[in-house]
Amino acid sequence: MQKQKVVHPDRIMSYFLANIPVLIIVTISGLIYNIGMLAGPYFEGRLAQTLYDIIGGRSKFSDMVQIAFFYIIAILIVQAGRAVKRFGVRRFANNVSSSMRRNLYNSLVHSDQQKLQKEGLGSLLTKAISDVDACSEGMRKFTTEIFDTGVVMIAYVCMLVHYDFRLAILSCMFTPIAYLAADRLKTVVTRANAEYKKSAAALSGRTMDRIGNALTYRVYGREKNRDEAYERSLSDYEKKSAKANLFESSMAPLYDAIAMLGTVLVIYFGAKNVQGTGWTAWNIAAFTTFLSCFTKLATKVSHAAKLFNSVQKAAVSWKRIKPLMKDSVEDSFDPDKVPVRPQGVEFSDVTCGYDGEKMLKHISFEAKPGQIIGVTGGVASGKSLLGRVLLGEVPYEGAVTIGGKDLGSMTEREKLEAVSYSGHDPELLSTSFFDNISLGSDIDVDRFLQMTCLDEDLKNMHRSADWPVGEGGAMLSGGQQARLSLARALAHARSILVLDDPFASVDKVTETKILKEIRREFPDRTIIIMTHRLYHFPEFDCVLYLHNGHGTFLPHDKMLEKEPGYRALYEEQAKGGDYDDI
């Protein structure tokens, strides 16, 4: 199916405009169906009158057969229009749902991952998909009821006025009362649905927490406590769900009862018309047609009331997902197909941090092609922060240039062409070693398995590159996860390689082998390694030491002389301490 382009996806009207061809078909078939609905009361009246005339000897049975034949033809035409309209409306709803889901997906994959983690990605995704379904269903019902309720009600009213405008006005005065009741309940329905959505989200969060942390709760004997909390959430959900459903569906009989009060007036004054003592002279056909028309009109009132409820429910959902309905970001660019050219990177008086907090201040350093720069510091000193600045995920003050070009003026494509990144969190796929490294590209995976010493691990485990790594790399050790993430970054290496803690839980011998391979394979790349392991720092071209929100940039020997904190870290590790714990 061809992707549907929606301009301004944060506007409801945009989804209608994007489906104009389908809606034109819906409009034509809807008019045929709903105006054709008048054939029912008309022919019912004609049949009743003919039957009365047959009994009185004024008509023949063949007359009724003829009317019945045309009635069947009318029914076939009307039902054909109905089938086309229903198909068109369903197609419209499917298109809207697909477009919204595609925009939701695109928005989430291009959102700040840290913010998503704070909000709870699983819970957010569950709520968002549910809200998309509610919105598309509300738009479907709205489109359906425009014809099935709006157009046909106008047609019924016109027919009633044609037969007796006084009785039409009198009998229909209860209809606005039913609509007024629906409108007054609008606020109640909206509030009930909002509470239901909130409770459903809380229940989903409790469920995911209970499953995801089952072992922890079991070890610390907190299972009963968590189960009780879950039961409270479940009980609240059941109450809120029942209340929302009550207002959404149980009010229809009330609307019907109010609107149908006019039937008494139709029977009373209609009988006078048939007797010739009313406002208009009627026969049996006119009376039957008017009564049938009015009952169908009154029945439609409850449909309109349900439409109000559905629209209000959809409005609650739309309010929640609207911030996520953003213009799609095209992902067609493949940086692997762009030739790599040597580029350096320079930070000049850079200040940056998360959520408005300035964690690093006045950082300045330069890394040239062919150099390896080591970045280190204490826990939470801001090592990973610098890498995220280069990815454009963290706002900063000052100047950052790549290849002499200001980072802030670079397009997303230019950044992808320049920077490769292996983060502190490996972010592994749940598939195989091969897939994690290649990412669908035509790459010699064995080469990068060898570079990161993973080929030896696979050989010892009697496995191949097609072996699955488990959910998020759960079947691998911490060191294997880090090296697999590193192999992926090396396989797609660009001008600047940013490696955040690439040697976590890796022994010194393996670390030395990997660094040797990186130097041999990428002699013209700019390599920045963020790590707290200083074993190889004497070999690096320069060191950036982060401390107290500031940074010192010097060669290793001079750093030992000038920075006591750096010297203490290095000497502790040189003594043979466990530098993974420092």
Residues 269 and 368 both lie in one domain: no
- SS3 for 92-140 is HHHHHHHHHHHHHHHHHHCCCHHHHHHHCHHHHHHHHHHHHHHHHHHHH
Number of Cβ within 10 Å of residue 317's Cβ equals: 23
Residue at 216 is within a domain = no
Q: Does a structural domain hold residue 64?
A: yes
66 and 178 fall within a common domain = yes
CATH code of the domain covering residue 420: 3.40.50.300
CA gap 146, 161 in Å, rounded: 21
State whether 526 and 397 are in the same domain: yes
68 or 35: which carries more pLDDT confidence? 68
The whole model's pTM is what?
0.60
Residue 322 CA to chain centroid, in angstroms?
Answer: 10
Is 141 found in the same domain as 74?
yes
Say how far apart CA 245 and CA 189 lie, in whole Å: 9
Asked if 131 and 321 touch (Cβ cutoff 8 Å), the reply is: yes
Residue 282 lies inside a defined structural domain of this protein: yes
* Residue 22 and residue 89 in one domain: yes
Provide the domain limits for residue 513: 338-574
Q: Which two tokens stand for residue 259?
A: 């609107």
For residues 211 and 202, what is the distance between their CA atoms, to the nearest angstrom?
14
End-to-end CA distance of the chain: 55
310, pLDDT greater than 50: yes
Contacts of 575 (CB under 8 A, 6+ apart): none
Instruction: Specify whether 268 is located in the same domain as 413.
Output: no
d(CA 543, CA 549): 16
Q: How many domains does the chain have?
A: 2
Look at residues 572, 563, 480, 561 and name the one whose alpha carbon lies nearest to residue 533.
Answer: 572
The answer on 371 and 514 residing in a single domain is yes
**Selected residue with higher pLDDT from 21 and 305:** 21
Considering only 2-6, 244-248, 406-410, which range has the smallest mean pLDDT?
A: 2-6
For range 442-471, the mean pLDDT = 90
Check pLDDT > 90 for residue 553.
yes
pLDDT tens for each residue of 56-110:
888 888 888 898 898 889 889 888 888 898 898 889 888 888 888 888 877 777 6
Whether residue 100 sits in one domain with residue 30: yes
Provide the pLDDT confidence category of residue 579 given band limits of 50, 70 and 90: very low
**Per-residue model confidence as pLDDT tens digits over 371-390:** 999 999 988 888 889 988 99
CA 452 from centroid of its chain's CA atoms: 37
What's the CATH code of the domain at 139? 1.20.1560.10
Bigger pLDDT: 449 vs 217 = 449
Pairing of strands 542-547, 550-554: antiparallel
Using DSSP's 3-state secondary structure scheme, residue 401 falls into strand
SS3 (DSSP) at 551:
strand
Q: Are 265 and 291 in contact (CB under 8 A)?
A: no
In the DSSP assignment, the letter for residue 55 is: H
